Amino acid sequence: MAHTRVGDGLAVGDDLVSAAERAVAHALRPLRGERPDLACVFVSGAAPQQEQAALTRAAELLDAHTVLGCTAHGVMAGSKAVEGVGSVSVWAAHLPGVTLRGFHLEVIRTSESIAVLGMPESQPDDIVGVLLADPWSFPSEGFVDGSAARLHGLPLVGGLASGSARSGDTRLLLDGRVYDRGAVGVVVGGDVAVHTLVSQGCRPIGRALTVTSAEGSTIREIGGRPALERAREAVSSLPDEEQPLAVRGLTLGLVMDEYADEHVAGDFLVRGIAGADQISGAIDVGDVIPVGSTVQFLLRDADSAHDDLAQVLAAFRRRVGMTGICGALLFSCNGRGRSMFPSADHDVAAVQGALGVEGIAGFFAAGEFGPVAGRNRLHGFTATVLAFGS
């Protein structure tokens, strides 16, 4: 009987092509000679031309049915992660019974509209889509918001390529071809078990209240009072020593289940606060929040992010048991890592420890795709996991 086998590899060095060769060799070892069905390559820390050469060389050596990859601010594999230096991570999986359909999405812009072309037609056995997108050219939020109807409920997991300083510097890999715009991905189907997890890394503060005045992404009033006043009220509920954390870590959570008696960390769709008007008391959250929505202010800090990821992983293990997971892809925000934790390793080490397996790799993204409450979303500051079963 064929078995699911997953391997990972991480190599660091100024010569990215050499690093890619070493990372591929390490990732292929656990496959014991089986050809990979799906492989992913993430490269970081060099000029775009060098990153492209590393992506191409890795794809050549992997010889997988489908290979995806992109450039990144940092990469991870096993229980280790690195940021801002020349490095390559590789993930390779032999998945008996899987079907894979790779795609490249192109953006067509006119004076009146934007169209995204290249998504394959839905099939009855489709399970999940993995999506890697260029943050400069791809309309990620609009594409994801419309995906429920367009993709017939297909969950999307992945992230925005990171680390590029300007438009045109991003590199996206699909089956040996490298693109500098749009998005690449794969639809996974067939007889394979997958699980999606999203840790948004926040804890609720203050009270859940109703939005009573809003227009577009601007919230004027919450619970009949200026939104900024409600934000200050929520912050004042914190102990004195924690209130300074709100300077950078205050966010707004949209309640997913309006009928729950109590709301905990995983019950919200988290949105950052993009700005505030000191005179009117309105806040801008960068997303449309309709009047009548229930919201609560949330605090994001290292302790909250650590605890939430641990709780999400523990709940997953209770649900699926301690066996049956063979590997995982991890898309962690580039605002996490060393920006949030003492070590860049935090998220990947936590995932590996909780799942108890090798075969974990990913990258630090400029935004993460993952389903919350049954709908695909574009997130920030999350750790999003796609776990593969045996």
What is the per-residue pLDDT across 145-176, written as a single tens digit (0 to 9) for each? 888 888 989 999 999 999 988 999 999 999 99
Q: Which structure tokens are listed for 247?
A: 């300077």
Tell me which of 225 and 46 has the higher pLDDT: 225
Residues 92, 82: Cα–Cα separation, whole Å:
19
pLDDT at residue 259, as a whole number: 55
For 147, residues 6+ apart whose C-beta sits below 8 A from its C-beta are: 154, 156, 376
pLDDT tens string 261-278: 555 556 788 888 989 999
Tell me which of 375 and 286 has the higher pLDDT: 375
Q: What is the mean pLDDT of residues 43-53?
A: 95
Share the mean pLDDT of the chain.
Answer: 93
pLDDT at 13 over 90: yes
Cα dist from 122 to 45, 68, 147, 151, whole Å = 37, 20, 12, 7
Strands 156-160 and 126-133: parallel
Residues 234, 243: Cα–Cα separation, whole Å:
10
- Which pLDDT band, with edges at 50, 70 and 90, does 211 fall under? very high
Domains of the chain, CATH where assigned: 5-198+305-389 (no CATH), 203-299 (2.40.30)
Q: Which structure tokens are listed for 264?
A: 């905990």
pLDDT at residue 177, as a whole number: 97
Q: What is the mean pLDDT of residues 192-199?
A: 95
pLDDT at 134 over 60: yes
Residues 318, 66: Cα–Cα separation, whole Å:
32
